[in-house]
Structure 1
Amino acid sequence: MTPAGERRAREQPFDASDAEAKALASGLRLRILRLTLDEPLTNREIADVLGLNPATCLHHVRTLVDTGFLEALEPRRGRRGAREIPYRATGRSWYARTPTISPSMVEAFVAELGQVPADRTDVTLTRLRLRLPPEELAEFRRRLHELVMEFHDRPRDPDAEPWSFFLALHPEALSAQPGD
């Protein structure tokens, strides 16, 4: 199991502090965490992948390091012998409960989905409207959670193609009733 996988197995859900919630309220920071989950990357490598100025990227990297969502590893020699620090996601963000609804996850999802080549035919999108009594809704939530956690807890195969999964379950806004 990878070091990140070992940490994931030990973490428990926690209420995010204001600083932690703010760090996770950025779609860009969520993308940085996704990029560094399986492979450590330097600030310059992260900036290159995301098309950012390295100084702008470093601000986001430092915010994630300061809140424990990203860790700095041992420095290494980069291009032209320069000292570079690789960063790796700690996996802690998975367990953070944030106090407010934030569009950051949706922003990160849309940005990542936008980078998938248009000719890929194996992308799956599904949208569903449900009308479930409270006990069935609770069962639906529990079963979804169990399935996601089952796959989350499996060891990662470093040779397998990485896939992303996004799930949102929310009450619908009240729609106009006939005659209103």
Structure 2
Amino acid sequence: MTTEDADSVHIQTDEQLRAVASHTRHRILRVLRDGPATITQIAERLGIAKGSSNHHVKVLAKAGLVAVVETRKVGGVTEQYYAMTGRRIELPEPGAGQPETLMRHALADVEDAPPNEQKTIALNHARLSPEAWEEFNKRVHALMAELKELSDPTQPAADLFIAFYRPKDV
């Protein structure tokens, strides 16, 4: 589902595709969804080296996905705060046989998430008529819209990973 709006960054170049193809850069974008952060703050939040954080942020900046939004002088050091250039990133539809990049990153996030009571994972199978498919698909999109409305930036992050599809029958 693609939503056209002025607050979206539409991935169009190979450089942008390579930038979002990295799971580390995906995680950096997750951090920046919550607000601007410095290279050091990003590294600390993700538990990665500052040099690695710097490299990946520079790749995202070169691709136009993040930008410096504030600069502060702290002691003798200038800190740059980076933010996403849009609230959402729109990927082109993958061609036949190409990976669903965001879904692969989301699955990696699910696998990395600590086990706790705030994690629900399920896989259900059903056989649906075209009409039932459409009705359920509408309900899934309504649920995603409801989650978006409930979002409170002061609260801990929560992700909804959905893949509703017709599998290739064997």
Instruction: Tell me the SS of whatever aligns to 1:147.
Output: helix
Which residue does the alignment assign to 2:158? 163
Aligned residue runs from structure 1 range 90-109, under 5 A: 90-93=86-89, 95-100=90-95, 101-102=98-99, 104-109=101-106
Which residue does the alignment assign to 2:49? 53
Return the match for 1:86 from 62, 81, 84: 81
- Gap change, CA 1:102 and 1:76, over 3 Å in 2: farther
- Gap change, CA 1:75 and 1:21, over 3 Å in 2: same
Return the match for 2:34 from 33, 38, 54: 38
Q: Structure 1 runs of 4+ off > 6 angstroms?
A: none
The answer to which structure, 1 or 2, has the higher relative contact order (CA under 8 A, 6+ apart) is 1
Whole-Å Cα distance in 2 between the matches of residues 63 and 155 of structure 1?
32
- Gap change, CA 1:92 and 1:126, over 3 Å in 2: same
- Gap change, CA 1:81 and 1:141, over 3 Å in 2: farther
The 8 Å contact of residues 27 and 105 in structure 1, kept in 2 or not, is answered as: no
* Between structures 1 and 2, the one with greater strand share: 2
- The alignment's C-alpha RMSD in Å is 3.0
Which residue does the alignment assign to 1:64? 60
Provide structure 2 residue ranges, at least 5 long, that are not aligned to the other structure.
none
Task: Count matched residues.
Answer: 164
CA-CA distance at 1:12 after TM superposition? 5.9
Aligned-pair identity in percent equals: 27
Which residue does the alignment assign to 1:172? 167
Q: Which residue identity is paired with 1:142?
A: K
The 8 Å contact of residues 36 and 81 in structure 2, kept in 1 or not, is answered as: yes
TM-score normalised to structure 2 length: 0.75
TM-score normalised to structure 1 length: 0.71
CA-CA distance at 1:124 after TM superposition? 1.1
The 8 Å contact of residues 9 and 65 in structure 2, kept in 1 or not, is answered as: no
